[in-house]
Structure 1
Amino acid sequence: MESLSFEDMARRRRQGPPSEAWRRYLPFIPWVLGGLVAIFLISDFSYTVEPHEQAVVLRFGAYKATTMPGLHFKIPIVDQVMKVSVEEHGLSLPFSPVGQMGPGRVDSNLLRARQVQTDPDDDETLMLTGDLNTASVEWTVQWRVTEPSNYLFKFPIGADDQAAGELLTYVSRTVMNRLVGDYSFDEMIGPKRGDIAVQARDDSQRILDAYDCGITVTALQMQRVIPPDRVKPSFDRVNASIQLKQKLENEAESTRNKLIPEARANRDKLIREAEGYASRTKAEAQGEIEALLARYHAYQRAPDVTRQRLYIEAMQGLFESVKDKTIIDADLNRALPILNLNEKGGIAK
């Protein structure tokens, strides 16, 4: 038993019982509690939505409104705010759904999926084409949330949107398997490649709209369409032949495009020359006709004079065509002079 001195007992008697010290703080307890409640209400009175988010406001658990990025106000305790990322996500298919990749972020799961893609023995990419061949098909899907309220009520909220990724994977694989079965392998790697991607995006969006899940497929791109490894050597040879054929066709088309303009230019040149010759010949003939008509009319007016003039013109033309000429007087009565062939222009008598 503790022994107390007389001074200790007197000091404890002056201080009174221990409970009397807390009575001095009792008036301040309601104020402290009120301050804490006020701080909570003030902090719950507003909320901020980031640029890549949209917020769904629930009032007493029922949908109230969807708010855009910025500062907003709500009724404390009554309203509940649920934020949804509306940035674009990506899926690499037909592999199992993995974490999405948003702008400026790289998901480790997606990197692991890309490493899986390099495995040549993975049969998950094999699909049956319309001509009963097998092809290894890979594609990517870009999607984003466009109706946050529907998205929240259809999927459980998770850090990686795993449920939405699984739905997109199943829908996209179903659509792609059906479309690949409608086309041959040559069409898959050739002219129908872009059409298949567009149709797959539209069909996937149609199924998602039927689920009313608030997701929009923004893009679907075909990545690789290659034959399986066991037939790849033969396919490479066929592909090399096709490329050689296309090369020869391109060269022939290039030569054709070069020769046809030259032939057309030569044709136009010959046509212009022929037209010029025809015009010139026609003009000359017309001029000769007019000259003959002029002579005819002149002959009708003065036959003797015209006949003499025509004779003189004819003789003039004849003499001009002869280089060396010897003229003998028609009135010469003596013997015919002998032409000296040894002397040019000389006359022997």
Structure 2
Amino acid sequence: MAWNEPGGGRDRDPWGGKNGGDGPPDLDEALRKLKERFGGLFGGSGSGGGKGVSGALVGVVIGVVLAVWALMGFYQIDAKEQAVVLRLGKFQEVKGPGLQWNPPIIDSVTKVLVTEEREYRSKGLMLTQDESIVSVPLTVQYNIKESKDFVLNVKDPEVSLRHATESAIRHVVGSTTTSDVLSEGRSAMADETRSRLQKYLDTYQTGMYITQVNILEAEPPTQVKAAFDDVISAKENKDQYKNQAEAYSNEVIPKARGTAQRLIQEATAYRDRVIAEAEGQAQRFEKLLVEYQKAPEVTRQRLYIDTVQEVMGNSTKVMVDVEGGNNMLYLPLDRLVDAQPKPKINTSEGSVLDNPEILNLIDQVVQQRLREQSSSNRRGGR
């Protein structure tokens, strides 16, 4: 039977109190009982022995809580790390390696690896200066220079690094020709990219330091790779022909220079020789002039004899003609020279006519011819 049915009785009322009256329970009574119960737990009303035990227990609990709280504040910072300390959300300090302590809950500590070399990789299609599309892969190596800036100034430093890297490499590739991107220009591009990227990161105050940027071997898109290979092959052929031409030039030019130098030296020697001969002839003439002024006839006769000697020394046949005669005497000097023992001929010492025997023979022939001519003239006079 339900409590509210007729005849159920007063005892079935759930709201019945001690007084047995109708209506809701006494809230003041309930609150009083709850207060007494908690008061006894924390040393409130109760018997004297219970009060002492409760106070000691509370002290022990509080001491344990404080000890645990203090122990939670100790932490170790490695030699490669730095710790950024925030107190109630505000920057407090940066701590170095070693055993450190900060009050838990009040301070928050963020550890940062500052000496660790980190790496970021990127690859994308980019437009070059000559409007060609190339795929440029690169790696960025960096570390943390300022741990405070790395933790506080940028929400996500890795995202900022990615955006700055893409901006820097696209700017550099956009001002570089395709041939330089695909071949020997990558080193200069890497240096320029690193400088520009570090400038961006310093502007953002990310606390990161770029140690090195490596631009790997770029390649054209697969759709035009064959055409790019042909261009690279042609460039290699051009370099090969250029090297061959330079080698030929290095071989020919020194020879030509040596020949030119030799000709110059020969011309200089010829000039010096001619000048020396001319000066010698001039000095000889001056000395001869002095002798001629002293004895003109003897000097004239000597010059004539020397001239005849020089002319006859270069001839193998001599024709002797006497004035007023009809016959001409022929002297075969070549046969006369062959019949005699061949003397040593030296133009510096004299000619063949310096031989006394030959001169004696010539003199006899000339005297005989003169006598015959004289006899012929006497007969004609009679």
Output the amino acid matched with 1:252. A
Kindly tell me: are residues 93 and 291 of structure 1, through their superposed partners in 2, closer, same or farther at Cα, counting changes over 3 Å?
Answer: same
Q: Which residues of 2 match residues 150-299 of structure 1 at below 5 A?
A: 150-155=149-154, 163-190=156-183, 192-299=185-292
- Percent identical residues: 30
Note if contact 1:136-1:224 (Cα within 8 Å) is conserved in structure 2: no
For the residue of structure 1 that corresponds to 2:129, the secondary structure is coil
Counterpart-to-counterpart distance in 2, 1:205 and 1:331: 118
Offset, 1:318: 3.9
| Normalised TM-score (structure 2) | 0.59
Secondary structure of 1:309 counterpart = helix
Secondary structure class of the residue paired with 1:335: helix
Residue in 1 that maps onto 2:145: 146
Q: Distance in 1 between matches of 2:372 and 2:295?
A: 40
Of the two, which has the highest radius of gyration? 2
Taking a change above 3 Å as real, the CA distance of residues 223 and 305 of structure 1, as seen in their structure-2 partners, is same
Quick one: distance in 1 between partners of 2:165 and 2:145? Answer: 18
Deviations 1:157-182 (A, max 9, x none): xxxxxx33222112111232333333
SS in 1 for 2:210: strand
Q: CA 1:57 to 1:39, structure 2 compared with 1: closer, same or farther past 3 Å?
A: closer
Change (3 A) 1:89 1:75: closer
Q: Report Cα offsets for 1:138-163 as digits up to 9, x if no partner.
A: 1111111111111121356xxxxxx3
**Aligned residue in 2 for 1:8:** none
Q: Which moved more, 1:248-257 or 1:56-65?
A: 56-65
Match of 1:85 in 2: 113
Q: How far 1:93 sits from its partner (Å)?
A: 0.4
Letter in 2 for 1:310: L
How far apart are the structure 1 equivalents of 2:129 and 2:122? 21
Counterpart AA for 1:83: K
Quick one: structure 1 residues 41 and 227, their matched pair in 2 at CA, closer, same or farther if it must change by over 3 Å?
A: closer
Task: For residue 251 of structure 1, report the CA deviation from its aligned partner.
Answer: 1.1
SS in 2 for 1:178: helix
Residue 313 of structure 1, aligned match among 306, 315, 331: 306
CA contact 1:143–1:215 (8 Å) conserved in 2: yes
Unaligned runs of 5+ in 2: 1-48, 317-332, 334-357, 374-382
Give the CA deviation at 1:303: 2.0
Over the aligned positions, Cα root-mean-square deviation in angstroms equals: 3.8
Is the CA contact (8 Å cut-off) linking 1:59 and 1:79 kept in structure 2?
Answer: yes
1:160-215 C-alpha deviation (Å, 9 max, x unpaired): xxx33222112111232333333442343246443433332222222211211111
Structure 2 letter corresponding to 1:232:
K
Match status 1:131 vs 2:130: yes
Structure 1 residues 42, 172: CA separation in 2 closer, same or farther (over 3 Å shift)?
closer
- Determine the C-alpha separation between the residues in 1 that align with 2:250 and 2:223: 42
Hey, what does 1:335 align to over in structure 2? 372
CA distance in 1, matches of 2:283, 2:314: 25
- Residue 279 of structure 1 and its aligned partner are, at CA, apart by 1.7
- Partners of 1:58 and 1:64 within 8 A in 2: yes
The secondary structure found in structure 2 opposite 1:130 is coil
Normalising to structure 1: TM-score of the pair? 0.64
Q: Cα–Cα, structure 1 residues 53 and 267, in superposed 2: closer, same or farther, change >3 Å?
A: farther
Conserved 8 A contact 1:127-1:135? yes
